[in-house]
Amino acid sequence: MTTGAELLPSYSLAAGREDEIALPASWPSEVTPEWAWGGATGEGVRVCVLDSGVESGHPLVGEVERSIAVVADDEGFAEVVEDTEGDVFGHGTACSGIIRSIAPECTLGSARVLGPANQGRAGLMAAGLQWAISEGYQVINMSLSTTNRELLELLHELTDEAYFRRTSIVASANNVAEESYPWRFSSVISVGSHEDEDPMRFYVNPSPPVEFYARGIEIEVAWRGGGQIRSSGNSFATAHLSGVCALILSKHPELTPFELKSALRLTAANTVMEAV
């Protein structure tokens, strides 16, 4: 309990300081795809791909701003080092190619947390996520998850930290009906697949925890060695939505993760705008 302005509780707003937190009234009466990303290219938005690495210079990917790898040191602790190998499997290159196809002028970064079998330790994934958040990426693509509940609290803390630092995490739902993380956290944009061929068509799910569906079935994706393969999975749907997020933030850099998710909800193909 407090008894005066000098004893305001933490996180309080003192009288007369409302102007200091005034926000621009930039939202239209109807949020449309044209308003959200019309004319945008992803320019000015930094996207980090947490995955198996990214093949910089791949014809469908282009250049990668920075590539790091998260490895275990001699004592088993996570260590961030410069990545000199690139993509050791192909999955990260596939996701990066999709993101680049939608947001061609975004800046791509890579945090390799998976190995040659496209598997990895949950602790390394968490360390990679922490690095990407600390580097200030606006969008983090996580086409991976873990079932390790021992790291549940840490991952929850990291996704909350990202949310408060205006970093949007776009994460894929598990490809099997199994509980995994971080896609189940409400601060994360969670994604499953649909079969439509339009890369810009996505749907909002009225029955979460999966919040959105994006293109991810039987699509041509980039692969290591400069090639391509045909594949399916929620991983690729996630990359499509990460690309859309990059477009929206390119045009509206002031949006918070909450506002970005709201914009996605209002521009989803199955959203019906009701007259007020």
Overall number of domains in the chain: 1
Residue 276 is assigned to a structural domain of this protein: no
CA dihedral sign of residues 22, 23, 25, 30: negative
Residue 190 is assigned to a structural domain of this protein: yes
Residue 234 is assigned to a structural domain of this protein: yes
CATH code assigned at 106: 3.40.50.200
Residue 13 is assigned to a structural domain of this protein: no
The predicted structure's pLDDT at residue 5: 52
Q: How many whole angstroms separate alpha carbon 168 and alpha carbon 40?
A: 18
Ramachandran sector of residue 16 (left: φ over 0; alpha: ψ -120 to 50; beta: rest): left
DSSP E strand boundaries for 88-234? 107-112, 139-142, 168-172, 189-194, 203-204, 212-215, 219-223, 227-231
Answer for the pair 204, 233: CB distance below 8 angstroms, yes or no. Answer: no
pLDDT tens for each residue of the chain, 276 residues long? 545 556 889 889 999 899 888 887 678 889 999 999 999 999 999 999 999 999 999 999 999 999 999 999 988 899 999 999 999 999 999 999 999 999 999 999 999 999 999 999 999 999 999 999 999 999 999 999 999 999 999 999 999 999 999 999 999 999 998 999 999 999 999 999 999 999 999 999 999 999 999 999 999 999 999 999 999 999 999 999 999 999 999 999 999 999 999 999 999 999 965 544
Residue 179 is assigned to a structural domain of this protein: yes
Residue 21 is assigned to a structural domain of this protein: no
Q: How many whole angstroms separate alpha carbon 47 and alpha carbon 165?
A: 15
Residue 19 is assigned to a structural domain of this protein: no
How are beta strands 203-204 and 212-215 bridged, if at all? antiparallel
How are beta strands 139-142 and 66-72 bridged, if at all? unpaired
Structural domain including 169 reads 31-267
The torsion angles phi and psi of 151, rounded to 5 degrees, stand at -100, 10
The predicted structure's pLDDT at residue 2: 47
- Note the pTM of the prediction, 2 decimals: 0.94
Residue 272 is assigned to a structural domain of this protein: no
